[in-house]
Protein backbone atom coordinates (compact mmCIF):
# COMPACT_ATOMS: atom_id res chain seq x y z
CA UNK A 1 0.00 0.00 0.00
CA UNK A 2 2.98 2.32 0.51
CA UNK A 3 4.31 1.75 -3.07
CA UNK A 4 7.76 0.96 -1.72
CA UNK A 5 10.75 0.65 -4.03
CA UNK A 6 12.69 -2.63 -4.16
CA UNK A 7 15.43 -1.11 -2.00
CA UNK A 8 12.84 0.14 0.51
CA UNK A 9 11.38 -3.34 0.85
CA UNK A 10 14.86 -4.78 1.40
CA UNK A 11 15.52 -2.29 4.20
CA UNK A 12 12.19 -3.14 5.88
CA UNK A 13 12.78 -6.89 5.60
CA UNK A 14 16.29 -6.59 7.08
CA UNK A 15 15.07 -4.36 9.92
CA UNK A 16 11.89 -6.16 10.96
CA UNK A 17 12.38 -9.81 9.95
CA UNK A 18 16.06 -10.70 9.80
CA UNK A 19 16.89 -8.98 13.10
CA UNK A 20 14.65 -11.48 14.93
CA UNK A 21 16.19 -14.44 13.13
CA UNK A 22 19.74 -13.25 13.94
CA UNK A 23 19.01 -13.20 17.66
CA UNK A 24 17.60 -16.75 17.64
CA UNK A 25 20.27 -18.24 15.36
CA UNK A 26 22.97 -16.93 17.69
CA UNK A 27 21.85 -19.46 20.31
CA UNK A 28 20.26 -22.42 18.52
CA UNK A 29 20.31 -24.14 15.17
CA UNK A 30 17.66 -22.88 12.74
CA UNK A 31 15.87 -25.80 11.00
CA UNK A 32 16.20 -25.90 7.22
CA UNK A 33 12.43 -25.78 6.70
CA UNK A 34 12.21 -22.53 8.69
CA UNK A 35 14.92 -20.93 6.55
CA UNK A 36 13.17 -22.09 3.38
CA UNK A 37 9.89 -20.57 4.61
CA UNK A 38 11.65 -17.26 5.33
CA UNK A 39 13.25 -17.25 1.87
CA UNK A 40 9.81 -17.73 0.33
CA UNK A 41 8.34 -14.92 2.46
CA UNK A 42 11.25 -12.67 1.46
CA UNK A 43 10.75 -13.41 -2.25
CA UNK A 44 6.98 -12.88 -2.07
CA UNK A 45 7.37 -9.59 -0.20
CA UNK A 46 10.01 -8.15 -2.54
CA UNK A 47 8.29 -9.15 -5.78
CA UNK A 48 4.57 -8.94 -4.83
CA UNK A 49 4.08 -12.72 -5.11
CA UNK A 50 5.29 -12.65 -8.72
CA UNK A 51 8.32 -14.25 -10.35
CA UNK A 52 11.52 -12.29 -9.49
CA UNK A 53 12.72 -10.08 -12.34
CA UNK A 54 16.29 -9.82 -10.99
CA UNK A 55 18.33 -12.71 -9.63
CA UNK A 56 18.58 -12.97 -5.85
CA UNK A 57 22.38 -13.24 -6.13
CA UNK A 58 22.44 -9.90 -7.95
CA UNK A 59 20.37 -8.02 -5.38
CA UNK A 60 22.64 -9.34 -2.57
CA UNK A 61 25.72 -7.68 -4.08
CA UNK A 62 27.10 -4.32 -2.94
CA UNK A 63 25.85 -1.16 -4.68
CA UNK A 64 28.99 -0.75 -6.79
CA UNK A 65 28.64 -4.34 -8.02
CA UNK A 66 25.06 -3.83 -9.19
CA UNK A 67 23.26 -5.01 -6.06
CA UNK A 68 21.03 -3.51 -3.38
CA UNK A 69 22.64 -5.15 -0.34
CA UNK A 70 19.78 -7.58 -0.04
CA UNK A 71 20.27 -10.26 2.60
CA UNK A 72 21.03 -13.89 1.81
CA UNK A 73 19.31 -15.67 4.72
CA UNK A 74 21.39 -18.86 4.55
CA UNK A 75 24.66 -16.93 4.56
CA UNK A 76 23.44 -14.54 7.25
CA UNK A 77 22.60 -17.38 9.64
CA UNK A 78 25.93 -19.07 8.90
CA UNK A 79 27.93 -15.87 9.59
CA UNK A 80 26.15 -15.33 12.92
CA UNK A 81 26.93 -18.89 13.99
CA UNK A 82 30.56 -18.57 12.86
CA UNK A 83 31.00 -15.87 15.50
CA UNK A 84 30.90 -18.70 18.06
CA UNK A 85 34.30 -19.87 16.80
CA UNK A 86 35.84 -16.63 18.01
CA UNK A 87 34.22 -17.15 21.43
CA UNK A 88 35.39 -20.75 21.50
CA UNK A 89 39.05 -19.81 21.06
CA UNK A 90 39.27 -16.59 23.05
CA UNK A 91 41.37 -16.38 26.22
CA UNK A 92 38.44 -16.53 28.64
CA UNK A 93 37.77 -19.92 30.17
CA UNK A 94 34.18 -21.20 30.33
CA UNK A 95 33.07 -24.72 31.08
CA UNK A 96 30.86 -24.89 27.99
CA UNK A 97 34.05 -24.89 25.89
CA UNK A 98 35.33 -28.21 27.24
CA UNK A 99 33.12 -30.52 25.17
CA UNK A 100 33.43 -28.82 21.73
CA UNK A 101 37.18 -28.25 22.11
CA UNK A 102 37.74 -31.88 23.08
CA UNK A 103 35.63 -33.15 20.17
CA UNK A 104 37.55 -30.90 17.75
CA UNK A 105 40.87 -32.18 19.11
CA UNK A 106 39.80 -35.83 18.72
CA UNK A 107 38.60 -35.32 15.14
CA UNK A 108 41.01 -32.73 13.73
CA UNK A 109 44.04 -32.72 16.00
CA UNK A 110 45.34 -30.69 18.91
CA UNK A 111 46.70 -27.83 16.77
CA UNK A 112 43.71 -27.48 14.45
CA UNK A 113 42.96 -24.05 12.94
CA UNK A 114 39.86 -22.94 11.07
CA UNK A 115 40.98 -21.89 7.60
CA UNK A 116 39.83 -21.25 4.06
CA UNK A 117 39.63 -24.44 1.95
CA UNK A 118 38.85 -26.54 5.02
CA UNK A 119 37.46 -29.87 3.83
CA UNK A 120 36.70 -33.14 5.61
CA UNK A 121 34.62 -36.29 5.53
CA UNK A 122 31.32 -35.86 7.35
CA UNK A 123 31.97 -38.95 9.45
CA UNK A 124 34.51 -36.92 11.44
CA UNK A 125 31.75 -34.78 12.97
CA UNK A 126 29.17 -37.52 13.64
CA UNK A 127 29.62 -37.18 17.40
CA UNK A 128 29.39 -33.38 17.45
CA UNK A 129 26.32 -31.63 18.93
CA UNK A 130 23.98 -30.51 16.14
CA UNK A 131 24.82 -26.80 16.58
CA UNK A 132 28.57 -27.38 16.05
CA UNK A 133 27.95 -29.91 13.32
CA UNK A 134 26.08 -27.24 11.36
CA UNK A 135 28.88 -24.70 11.96
CA UNK A 136 31.54 -27.08 10.61
CA UNK A 137 29.43 -28.10 7.64
CA UNK A 138 28.65 -24.47 6.75
CA UNK A 139 32.30 -23.47 7.07
CA UNK A 140 33.32 -26.22 4.66
CA UNK A 141 30.75 -25.03 2.10
CA UNK A 142 31.20 -21.26 2.43
CA UNK A 143 34.96 -20.69 2.31
CA UNK A 144 36.74 -21.87 -0.82
CA UNK A 145 39.39 -19.67 -2.35
CA UNK A 146 42.46 -20.73 -4.31
CA UNK A 147 45.19 -18.40 -2.97
CA UNK A 148 47.38 -16.44 -5.38
CA UNK A 149 49.21 -14.10 -2.99
CA UNK A 150 52.33 -15.53 -1.33
CA UNK A 151 51.11 -14.55 2.15
CA UNK A 152 47.86 -16.47 1.58
CA UNK A 153 49.78 -19.49 0.28
CA UNK A 154 52.15 -19.52 3.26
CA UNK A 155 49.19 -19.19 5.66
CA UNK A 156 47.38 -22.22 4.23
CA UNK A 157 46.79 -24.79 6.96
CA UNK A 158 48.02 -28.10 5.52
CA UNK A 159 45.71 -30.51 7.29
CA UNK A 160 42.20 -31.03 5.91
CA UNK A 161 42.92 -28.61 3.06
CA UNK A 162 40.98 -29.24 -0.17
CA UNK A 163 44.05 -28.30 -2.26
CA UNK A 164 46.64 -30.33 -0.32
CA UNK A 165 45.73 -33.92 -1.10
CA UNK A 166 47.25 -37.39 -1.44
CA UNK A 167 45.32 -39.63 -3.84
CA UNK A 168 42.61 -36.92 -3.98
CA UNK A 169 42.10 -37.19 -0.22
CA UNK A 170 42.74 -34.52 2.40
CA UNK A 171 45.70 -35.19 4.68
CA UNK A 172 46.36 -35.30 8.41
CA UNK A 173 49.62 -36.66 9.86
CA UNK A 174 49.49 -36.34 13.64
CA UNK A 175 53.27 -36.72 14.14
CA UNK A 176 53.93 -33.71 11.93
CA UNK A 177 51.20 -31.59 13.52
CA UNK A 178 52.46 -32.24 17.06
CA UNK A 179 55.88 -30.97 15.97
CA UNK A 180 54.22 -27.69 14.87
CA UNK A 181 54.42 -28.51 11.18
CA UNK A 182 50.99 -27.16 10.24
CA UNK A 183 51.37 -24.53 7.54
CA UNK A 184 52.65 -24.50 3.97
CA UNK A 185 55.39 -22.03 4.97
CA UNK A 186 56.95 -24.69 7.23
CA UNK A 187 58.22 -26.47 4.11
CA UNK A 188 60.04 -23.43 2.65
CA UNK A 189 63.32 -21.77 3.61
CA UNK A 190 64.00 -18.02 3.60
CA UNK A 191 65.12 -18.18 -0.04
CA UNK A 192 61.76 -19.58 -1.15
CA UNK A 193 62.94 -23.14 -1.81
CA UNK A 194 61.53 -26.38 -0.41
CA UNK A 195 63.64 -27.35 2.61
CA UNK A 196 65.62 -30.53 1.94
CA UNK A 197 64.81 -33.50 4.15
CA UNK A 198 68.09 -33.48 6.11
CA UNK A 199 67.62 -29.83 7.08
CA UNK A 200 63.90 -30.28 7.65
CA UNK A 201 64.56 -33.22 9.98
CA UNK A 202 67.00 -31.14 12.04
CA UNK A 203 64.78 -28.03 12.23
CA UNK A 204 61.68 -29.90 13.44
CA UNK A 205 63.43 -32.78 15.22
CA UNK A 206 61.81 -35.39 12.96
CA UNK A 207 62.50 -39.10 13.03
CA UNK A 208 63.52 -41.17 10.00
CA UNK A 209 60.17 -42.96 9.90
CA UNK A 210 58.58 -39.61 8.90
CA UNK A 211 60.66 -39.34 5.72
CA UNK A 212 58.17 -41.02 3.39
CA UNK A 213 55.28 -38.91 4.70
CA UNK A 214 57.43 -35.80 4.20
CA UNK A 215 57.91 -36.79 0.53
CA UNK A 216 54.15 -37.25 0.19
CA UNK A 217 53.45 -33.83 1.71
CA UNK A 218 55.99 -32.03 -0.47
CA UNK A 219 54.46 -33.56 -3.59
CA UNK A 220 50.94 -32.70 -2.40
CA UNK A 221 51.64 -28.94 -2.34
CA UNK A 222 50.16 -27.51 -5.58
CA UNK A 223 52.81 -26.63 -8.18
CA UNK A 224 51.25 -23.17 -8.67
CA UNK A 225 51.96 -22.39 -5.02
CA UNK A 226 55.59 -23.50 -5.30
CA UNK A 227 56.08 -21.46 -8.49
CA UNK A 228 54.46 -18.41 -6.86
CA UNK A 229 56.92 -18.55 -3.95
CA UNK A 230 59.89 -18.94 -6.33
CA UNK A 231 58.75 -15.92 -8.34
CA UNK A 232 58.55 -13.74 -5.22
CA UNK A 233 61.94 -14.39 -3.68
CA UNK A 234 62.35 -10.65 -3.00
CA UNK A 235 59.67 -10.82 -0.27
CA UNK A 236 60.51 -11.17 3.41
CA UNK A 237 59.12 -14.68 3.98
CA UNK A 238 59.66 -14.62 7.74
CA UNK A 239 56.60 -12.51 8.61
CA UNK A 240 54.21 -13.64 5.86
CA UNK A 241 52.52 -16.52 7.69
CA UNK A 242 49.40 -15.98 9.80
CA UNK A 243 49.35 -18.86 12.29
CA UNK A 244 45.84 -18.40 13.59
CA UNK A 245 42.26 -19.16 12.61
CA UNK A 246 41.85 -17.18 9.41
CA UNK A 247 39.93 -16.57 6.20
CA UNK A 248 41.73 -15.85 2.93
CA UNK A 249 39.74 -13.43 0.77
CA UNK A 250 40.77 -11.29 -2.20
CA UNK A 251 44.36 -12.40 -1.61
CA UNK A 252 44.53 -11.04 1.92
CA UNK A 253 44.34 -12.77 5.28
CA UNK A 254 41.67 -11.94 7.87
CA UNK A 255 42.20 -13.46 11.32
CA UNK A 256 39.00 -14.77 12.82
CA UNK A 257 39.53 -13.22 16.25
CA UNK A 258 39.13 -9.73 14.71
CA UNK A 259 36.00 -10.41 12.67
CA UNK A 260 32.43 -9.71 13.74
CA UNK A 261 29.45 -11.63 12.33
CA UNK A 262 28.71 -8.65 10.05
CA UNK A 263 32.26 -8.68 8.64
CA UNK A 264 32.17 -12.45 8.15
CA UNK A 265 28.91 -12.06 6.20
CA UNK A 266 30.56 -9.50 3.89
CA UNK A 267 33.42 -11.93 3.25
CA UNK A 268 31.02 -14.79 2.47
CA UNK A 269 29.16 -12.58 -0.02
CA UNK A 270 32.49 -11.59 -1.61
CA UNK A 271 33.16 -15.29 -2.31
CA UNK A 272 30.02 -15.26 -4.43
CA UNK A 273 31.37 -14.90 -7.96
CA UNK A 274 28.38 -13.37 -9.71
CA UNK A 275 27.82 -10.57 -12.18
CA UNK A 276 24.40 -9.18 -13.16
CA UNK A 277 23.21 -10.94 -16.32
CA UNK A 278 22.23 -7.60 -17.88
CA UNK A 279 25.93 -6.69 -18.29
CA UNK A 280 26.24 -9.13 -21.18
CA UNK A 281 23.10 -7.66 -22.79
CA UNK A 282 24.63 -4.18 -22.83
CA UNK A 283 28.00 -5.50 -24.07
CA UNK A 284 26.21 -7.08 -27.03
CA UNK A 285 24.24 -3.89 -27.62
CA UNK A 286 27.30 -1.59 -27.53
CA UNK A 287 30.14 -3.74 -28.84
CA UNK A 288 32.64 -0.87 -29.20
CA UNK A 289 32.14 0.50 -25.69
CA UNK A 290 34.18 -0.17 -22.55
CA UNK A 291 32.04 -0.08 -19.43
CA UNK A 292 33.15 1.09 -15.99
CA UNK A 293 30.47 -0.83 -14.11
CA UNK A 294 31.42 0.46 -10.65
CA UNK A 295 30.83 4.04 -11.82
CA UNK A 296 27.65 3.11 -13.72
CA UNK A 297 26.07 1.39 -10.69
CA UNK A 298 27.06 4.16 -8.24
CA UNK A 299 26.05 7.03 -10.52
CA UNK A 300 22.31 6.99 -9.60
CA UNK A 301 23.25 7.09 -5.91
CA UNK A 302 25.36 10.22 -6.34
CA UNK A 303 23.11 11.92 -8.91
CA UNK A 304 19.92 11.93 -6.83
CA UNK A 305 18.48 11.16 -3.41
CA UNK A 306 15.05 10.42 -4.87
CA UNK A 307 14.46 6.71 -4.21
CA UNK A 308 11.97 6.33 -7.09
CA UNK A 309 14.45 7.77 -9.61
CA UNK A 310 17.11 5.40 -8.27
CA UNK A 311 14.68 2.50 -8.58
CA UNK A 312 13.82 3.58 -12.15
CA UNK A 313 17.50 3.61 -13.13
CA UNK A 314 18.09 0.27 -11.38
CA UNK A 315 15.41 -1.29 -13.59
CA UNK A 316 17.09 0.15 -16.68
CA UNK A 317 20.53 -1.16 -15.66
CA UNK A 318 19.09 -4.63 -15.08
CA UNK A 319 17.06 -4.54 -18.30
CA UNK A 320 13.74 -5.10 -16.51
CA UNK A 321 12.06 -1.81 -17.45
CA UNK A 322 9.33 -3.19 -19.68
CA UNK A 323 8.56 -0.84 -22.57
CA UNK A 324 6.20 -1.37 -25.51
CA UNK A 325 8.52 -3.76 -27.33
CA UNK A 326 8.43 -6.32 -24.50
CA UNK A 327 4.87 -5.53 -23.47
CA UNK A 328 3.76 -6.25 -27.04
CA UNK A 329 5.44 -9.67 -26.85
CA UNK A 330 3.56 -10.29 -23.58
CA UNK A 331 0.27 -9.34 -25.27
CA UNK A 332 -0.15 -6.27 -23.04
CA UNK A 333 -0.07 -3.58 -25.77
CA UNK A 334 -1.37 -3.34 -29.32
CA UNK A 335 1.87 -2.04 -30.83
CA UNK A 336 5.59 -2.55 -30.23
CA UNK A 337 6.31 1.03 -31.29
CA UNK A 338 7.06 3.84 -28.83
CA UNK A 339 3.87 5.52 -27.60
CA UNK A 340 5.16 8.92 -28.72
In a domain, 260, yes or no: no
Q: Quick one: 34 and 67 in the same domain? A: yes
Contacts of 89 (CB under 8 A, 6+ apart): 245, 256, 257
Residue 37: count of CB within 10 angstroms of its CB: 11
Under a CB-based contact definition with an 8 Å cutoff, are residues 46 and 311 in contact? no
Specify the pLDDT at position 134. Answer: 92
| pLDDT tops 80 at residue 1 | no
Residue 80 C-beta-side C-alpha neighbours within 13 Å? 21
Longest dimension (CA), the chain: 86
Q: How many CB atoms lie within 10 A of CB 63?
A: 16
For the entire predicted model, the pTM comes to 0.84
Q: Classify residue 286: in a domain, yes or no.
A: yes
Domain membership of residue 301 (yes or no) is yes
Give SS3 for 142: helix
Instruction: Quote the mean pLDDT of the chain.
Output: 90
Q: Confirm whether 270 is domain-assigned.
A: no
Report whether pLDDT(273) > 90.
Answer: no
**Domain-located, residue 259:** no
162 and 244 part of one domain: yes
Q: What percent of the chain has pLDDT over 90?
A: 64
178 vs 237, residue with greater confidence: 178
* ∠ CA 127-129-130, rounded to 5°: 115
Q: What is the count of structural domains for the chain?
A: 3
CA-to-CA distance for 246 and 256, rounded, in angstroms? 5
DSSP 319-336: T----HHHHHHTTSSS-S
Which of 116-130, 132-146, 236-250 is least confident? Answer: 236-250
Domain boundary among 192, 221, 253: 253
- Domain range for 108 is 81-142
**293 found inside a domain:** yes
Cα gap 315→311, rounded to integer Å: 6
- In the DSSP assignment, the letter for residue 50 is S
Contacts of 175 (CB under 8 A, 6+ apart): 207, 210, 213
| 243 and 163 within one domain | yes
Q: Please tell me the distance from the alpha carbon of residue 276 to that of residue 60, in angstroms, as a whole number.
A: 11
pLDDT at 236 over 80: no
Amino acid sequence: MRSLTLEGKIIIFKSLAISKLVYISLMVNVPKQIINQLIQIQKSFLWKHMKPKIKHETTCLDFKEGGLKNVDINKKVASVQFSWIRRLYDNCFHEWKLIPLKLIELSFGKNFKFHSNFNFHNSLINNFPLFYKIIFDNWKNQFTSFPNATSCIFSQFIWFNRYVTINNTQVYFEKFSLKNINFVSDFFNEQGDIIKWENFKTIFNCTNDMHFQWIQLVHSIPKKWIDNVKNNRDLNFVNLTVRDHNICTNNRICTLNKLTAKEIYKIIISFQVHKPTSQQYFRNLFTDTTFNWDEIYLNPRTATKNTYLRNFQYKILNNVLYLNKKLFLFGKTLSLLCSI
